[in-house]
Structure 1
Amino acid sequence: KMTAILERISTLSLSGQHLSRLPRLLEDGFPQMPCTVKECEVPQLFREPYIHTGYRPTGQDWRYYFLSLFQKHNEVVNVWTHLLAALAVLLRFKTFVDAEQVPVDAWSLPLLIFVLSSVTYLTCSLLAHLLQSKSELYHYTFYFVDYVGVSIYQYGSALAHFYYSSDQAWYDKFWLFFLPAAAFCGWLSCAGCCYAKYRYRRPYPIMRKMCQVIPAGLAFILDISPVAHRVVLCHLGGCEEDA
């Protein structure tokens, strides 16, 4: 019996040694990641106000920037909030489709387009924050892609509001030009943001904000107009429905 006990203790000791080596084995299994650097070690384009460290070095290979998803740096919150939001949208949509048995037809198509536009916008923003540090060229490229994603989301929102929220009288009056106008406003918003991003440097003038906010504001006013009209009519008519 004593021999069996000693063998058991020896086995446990060996198992403990293997477990103690596990963190180092896991660390060795991942490629070595360059450390983040201070703001003085990156070009002016990448620096953000009041953020003095945590920048990823430029000029690394693509694998580094993709793996920086799991590294602590100045963009990590932006990256993960967009990633988790995209997953939440997909999960919520799947739950809704399974629960309601939504068919693939003309009625559900605007909803599908809206969900796809939402995921597209979040994915483009995710890629912009994750990969923009590689170089100045890719910084501009991925932020332009981000603005394209925002304009796609604007149009997807307008489409869903138009078909699911508009009053019949409003629909009959504006159906001919609402969606073309929404597409134009989305393009204008994207063009304004891209121009402002490329044209202006810090300290940013007020014109930069105007190029971004005015087109986006016009798109928002147009896109939300079916919902606003429906709410106003409901209020004026003494509507007491929860919806």
Structure 2
Amino acid sequence: MLSVRLPQLFDIHQVPKVFREDGIMSGYRHPRSSALDCILSSFQMTNETVNIWTHFLPTWYFLWRFSMLCSTLDFLTESYTWPLLVYLLLICLYPFTSSCAHIFSTMSDEARHICYFFDYGALSLYSLGCAITYGSYVMPDCWVNSWLHQHFVTIAICNSLFCTSMSCYSRFVELQFPHKSKILRTAAFVVPFLFDSFPLFYRLLSCCWGSCSPSEALASHSYHLLFAFLTCFLFASHLPERLAPGRFDYIGHSHQLFHVCAVVGTHFQMEAVLTDMASRKDWLTSHSFLPSFLGTMGVLALGILLNLAIIGTFSAGLPRTPRQSTSASSGAHLHQE
């Protein structure tokens, strides 16, 4: 019978520092895994398996929602739907890119950095997609056609480039200055999130002050913000594994919980955007300019090209290491750092 030998796993002291995670003591894959070994490891219980599947499976959920919306909305000719189209494309892209990054990140030191460069780029583009939809459907009534509204997406493009650049740079100082790296990477994603959510914060505060009536959209927006804050907290804190190293190596560590909160938050965000889009359509189309192709798909294309240029620049700056023909199943001696 044909048998498949799953890749060998290693403890934290058996892998180079660049592959180590705080509080995760075991379940590491070989740092010179082949592409096949990486794929096989996604069906094996490692410290990355849940990370892989908590973003791979949601990709299919978001694709399913996208396909359902394609049957009810006219994305080809109705310009009002184009911001939503950009957003839907990007909420399918970012979990898929993250899943691939976690699968193939142990092929080499260089591959690990490049995989996560693309992961950061996809998250950066997602923040840009949020800005496009928020500027089109979520902007408070009193801000519509204001200076901020007119330049919202332009500023978001700059935030996207800042996000990708800062997060990629943080990997270059990670080994020497881990705390500085964490601060830079966290700030890289917090800044676009806060800017994108600024109109939403205003709407929620207005309702708290009694200036508006609670709505289904604002309830979903609130859930999204709750999960977004949980996502940030888990990413920055490394809890619970920091309190009990080795206890959460395979199930329950912060990055897994971070993935779950991010996806659940995106679900609530999508529902809120859809509700605002439908309920505010008549008012927005009569009081504001309709989305343009250049302002939606054109911005997406520009964002992709600029982010790819940043990723290419940082990838070219990585130190080159000789590729060793060592597979995870070989049990060969691992380089210590």
Global fold match (TM > 0.5): yes
Deviation at 1:36, TM superposition (A): 1.4
Q: Distance in 1 between matches of 2:151 and 2:91?
A: 23
2:73 aligned residue? 102
2:130 aligned residue? 157
1:9 aligned residue? none
Q: What amino acid does structure 2 have at the position aligned with 1:227?
A: L
Structure 1 residue 68 corresponds to structure 2 residue 36: no
1:192 aligned residue? 166
Instruction: Return the structure number with greater helix share.
Output: 1
Structure 1 residue 222 corresponds to structure 2 residue 189: no
Q: What amino acid does structure 2 have at the position aligned with 1:191?
A: S
- Counterparts of 1:1-243 in structure 2 under 5 Å? 25=1, 28=2, 30-98=3-71, 101-104=72-75, 105-173=78-146, 174-201=148-175, 204-205=178-179, 207-235=180-208, 236-243=210-217
1:17 aligned residue? none
1:5 aligned residue? none
Larger mean CA deviation between 195-204 and 53-62 belongs to 195-204
Q: Is the 8 A contact 2:98 2:119 kept in 1?
A: yes
Select the structure of larger CA radius of gyration: 1
TM-score, normalised relative to structure 1:
0.80
**RMSD of aligned alpha carbons:** 2.0
- Ranges in structure 2 where 5+ consecutive residues have no aligned partner: 218-337
Deviation at 1:234, TM superposition (A): 4.2
SS at the partner of 1:169? helix
Q: Is the 8 A contact 2:12 2:28 kept in 1?
A: yes
Q: What amino acid does structure 2 have at the position aligned with 1:189?
A: C
Cα distance change of structure 1 residues 137 and 241 upon mapping to structure 2, 3 Å threshold: closer
Cα distance change of structure 1 residues 32 and 215 upon mapping to structure 2, 3 Å threshold: closer
Q: Distance in 1 between matches of 2:184 and 2:215?
A: 40
Q: Distance in 2 between matches of 1:210 and 1:61?
A: 32
Deviation at 1:75, TM superposition (A): 0.4
Deviation at 1:131, TM superposition (A): 0.6
Deviation at 1:137, TM superposition (A): 0.5
Q: Is the 8 A contact 1:33 1:64 kept in 2?
A: yes
Deviation at 1:198, TM superposition (A): 1.5
How many residues are paired up?
213
Partner deviation per Cα, 1:151-200 (whole Å, 9 max, x = no partner): 01100111111111113431201233110101111111111111111112
Deviation at 1:108, TM superposition (A): 1.4
Deviation at 1:33, TM superposition (A): 2.7
SS at the partner of 2:79? coil
1:21 aligned residue? none
Q: Is the 8 A contact 2:7 2:41 kept in 1?
A: no
Q: Is the 8 A contact 1:166 1:229 kept in 2?
A: no
Q: Distance in 2 between matches of 1:186 and 1:60?
A: 32
